[in-house]
Amino acid sequence: MIDMAFLLITFFIMSIRFGQAGEETIELPNADQAREVTDERVELVTVNVSGEGVYLVSGIQRSRAELYRYIEARKAEASEHRKLEIVVRGDRSSRFENVQAVMRMAADAGITDVSLAALQVADNVEQR
């Protein structure tokens, strides 16, 4: 029984670490009106755009063509009860053209809900 508990703990620790693997390399810009999405009826697809213009989805690097096919496939799989939203996490040193390309891909695939991720800045904290 103890062995089973250790196996479960190990599994959860490893799955948490792998789930956040692509998010560690992106340094988000600051925004004073950033908010957290908490609607359970929304399926979020997070696209990370690195400073070098590399697209990462779930820690997997994708070309623009591969990313577009992935977005189209996710749109086709979305049910009528769950809305699909694309969240773009662009590194603050990334060119906006790379972020804009993801927004255009989503629009071309018929996804109207696209948001940009940013760090929320408190009113009393001075921005850099």
Classify residue 127: in a domain, yes or no. no
pLDDT digits (tens, 9 = 90+) for 10-55: 877 766 655 444 454 666 666 565 555 555 566 788 899 988 889 9
* Structural domain boundaries, residue 63: 2-120
Residue 35: predicted pLDDT = 57
In a domain, 103, yes or no: yes
Looking up residue 33, the CATH number of its domain turns out to be 3.30.420.270
Whether pLDDT at 126 is above 70? no
Residue 128 lies in a domain: no
Q: Is residue 11 part of a domain?
A: yes
In a domain, 31, yes or no: yes
Domain for residue 91, yes or no? Answer: yes
The answer to whether residue 125 sits within a structural domain is: no
* Number of domains the chain contains: 1
Across 1-128, the runs of DSSP E, i.e. the strands, are: 30-31, 42-49, 55-57, 60-62, 83-90, 114-116, 119-120
Q: Judge contact between 113 and 85, C-beta under 8 A.
A: yes
- Asked if residue 65 is part of any domain, the answer here is yes
Residue found under tokens 């063509």:
65
Query: Percent of the chain beyond pLDDT 90?
Result: 20
